[in-house]
Amino acid sequence: MTLRIAGMGWVTPLGSGVNSVWERLLAGEEAVVEQISSPLNARVYPAFRVPVSATAQLPPHHRLRRASAISRFAVAAGLAALEEAGLTMSAETARRTALIFAIANGGVVYTKRFYHEIVETGAQAASPLLFPETVFNAPASHLAAILGIAGISYTLVGDGAAGLLAMKMAQDLMASETIDQCLIVGAEEADWLLCDAYHRWRLLRDAPPIEPFAPLRRGTILSEGAGAVVLSRSGDVELDRVDAGTNFSRQRDAASCVNRIFQNLARDGVDVVSASANGTFIDAAEQRALAKQCPGAVVYAAKTALGEAPGAGSIWQIICAVQALRENRVPPNLHLKSDPVFRQDKPNARATPFRRAIVSACGMNQQVAGLALSRVG
């Protein structure tokens, strides 16, 4: 069974559109940090936000009237991916399309607002309009309604590996010949509450930049947006293999788990790696596995420019890997400190084409997974 990437959609703090965001990454741009503050304790946190213009072109739909930012990001990315795949959603196409949604923190803005009213005033103040939007599958429901998908729609929750676990689910679903394509969407919205939580979890740094693979792991900066991929039976990049990975119990066990995934995926060769390095403890595990299993590969860590949006991040990495395979170049790694193995601070183009790419997702809450892609022809 051959599965290929037929279309992609991208909504990021660097704007939207695969080509546009990719060009900005190639130019060495990074998202601009916004300071967001907690009204409860006046703390200020850095975060990368999606510009309003990135979702300004959304078609009007009653489902989007009250929808949260995460739903809007997801719809924008999903529609763009379908457009790139050349798919128009007729009833028959919708019937043969599955929607798989990857999410980490969900609609945190509405969830916080809903619970805040309960805490502040009491249960009698709870809003029946907000509650349905707090449910994890609300964004998927909106997207399914807009596209007319009446069959399979799954929302998967997880950490930074959720997007790759969704790809695994898509691969399993497409064993059925009744499904022609899966639309896989990963999305996330940023909020001060998440920043506060990640700060207390000691995963957030106080100010930019994100330093990938740095000896001193100062933490990451949260981000938002969405990524979407249409997995189909035609396209110019093939999904070779998905390793749904495992869960590590303690941080010190992460290295062996990540290494096993790279070992599995790199055995047929690898030219380029779209890494999940985000400036936290998990970078060390990924770095060791890269050095051991992919010593000659070009490594690109997009989160240094786009930030860490756990639900969307691994789909963003897939988009980077596909673009690298298509264009035979990767953007510069930003803020890379000292490790000579990954020293690569200019756009990297090769005379020999990239044929195979690995995407690794090393989540911060125990889940790790990976996948391999190859250029067709």
Partner 1 sequence: MPLFAPSNNRRKEVRVAVVAAGVVSPLGFGLKETLAALREARDCITPVSRFDVAHCRCKIAGQISDKRLAKETSSGRRAKRLHRAAQMMIWALREALEQDPVFKPELSVVGTTSGGMTFGEQYYRSLHECGTLRGAASQIANYPPQKPLIDAQEALGILAPCQVIANACASGTNAIGHAFECIRSGHHERVLTGGYDALSELVFVGFDSLQASTPDRCRPFDRARSGLALGEGAAILAFENLDTAEARGANILAEIIGYGISTDNHHLTQPNPSGAGARQAMEGALESARIEAAEVDYINAHGTATPFNDAAEGKAIAELFGDVPVSSTKGMMGHSLGAAGAIEAIISILALREKILPANLHFETGDADLSLNIIANEPRSAAIRTVLSNSFGFGGTNASVILRTIGA
Span 175-204, contacts to partner 1 by CB under 8 A: 175-179, 193, 196-198, 200-202
Contact positions with partner 1 (CB under 8 A) in 246-275: 246-247, 249
CB-count burial class (<10 Å; 0-12, 13-18, 19+) for 252? exposed
Nearest approach, Cβ of residue 129 and partner 1 (Å): 9
Among 20, 51, 93, 127, interactor with partner 1 by CB under 8 A = 127
By the rule CB under 8 A, 282 interacts with partner 1: no
Do the Cβ atoms of 349 and 197 come closer than 8 Å? Answer: no
Among 140, 230, 306, 322, interactor with partner 1 by CB under 8 A = 140
Give me the 76-105 binding string for partner 1, x by CB under 8 A, dash otherwise. -----------------------x---xx-
By the rule CB under 8 A, 172 interacts with partner 1: yes
Among 123, 216, 340, 352, interactor with partner 1 by CB under 8 A = 123
Nearest approach, Cβ of residue 256 and partner 1 (Å): 11
Among 16, 153, 181, 280, interactor with partner 1 by CB under 8 A = 153
In the chain the first and final C-alpha atoms are separated, in Å, by 17
Rg of the chain (C-alpha set)? 19
By the rule CB under 8 A, 295 interacts with partner 1: no
Among 27, 40, 44, 376, interactor with partner 1 by CB under 8 A = 40
By the rule CB under 8 A, 60 interacts with partner 1: no
Among 76, 305, 334, 369, interactor with partner 1 by CB under 8 A = 369
Interacting residues of 162 by C-beta distance below 8 A, sequence separation 6+: 102, 103, 104, 156, 186, 310, 311, 314, 363, 367
Amino acid of residue 354: F
CA distances 146 to 16, 61, 89, 131, 272, Å, are 20, 7, 10, 20, 36
Among 69, 80, 87, 156, interactor with partner 1 by CB under 8 A = 156
Beta strands 153-157; 97-103: pairing state: parallel
By the rule CB under 8 A, 12 interacts with partner 1: no
Residue burial 293-314, b: 16+ Cβ < 10 Å; e: rest: bbeebbbbbbbbbbbbbbbbbb
Q: What is the dihedral of CA 201, 203, 207, 209, to 10 degrees?
A: -170
CA distances 332 to 98, 135, 282, 324, 329, Å, are 35, 38, 21, 12, 10
Among 14, 31, 80, 165, interactor with partner 1 by CB under 8 A = 165
Nearest approach, Cβ of residue 14 and partner 1 (Å): 27
By the rule CB under 8 A, 65 interacts with partner 1: no
CA angle 105, 106, 108 (to 5 degrees): 85
Give me the 297-316 binding string for partner 1, x by CB under 8 A, dash otherwise. --------------------
Nearest approach, Cβ of residue 289 and partner 1 (Å): 17
**Which region among 46-54, 150-158, 267-275, 316-324 touches partner 1 (by CB under 8 A)?**
150-158
Q: How far apart are CA 287 and CA 136, in angstroms?
A: 33
**Which region among 79-87, 120-128, 228-236, 312-320 touches partner 1 (by CB under 8 A)?**
120-128
Q: How far apart are CA 238 and CA 200, in angstroms?
A: 40
By the rule CB under 8 A, 343 interacts with partner 1: no
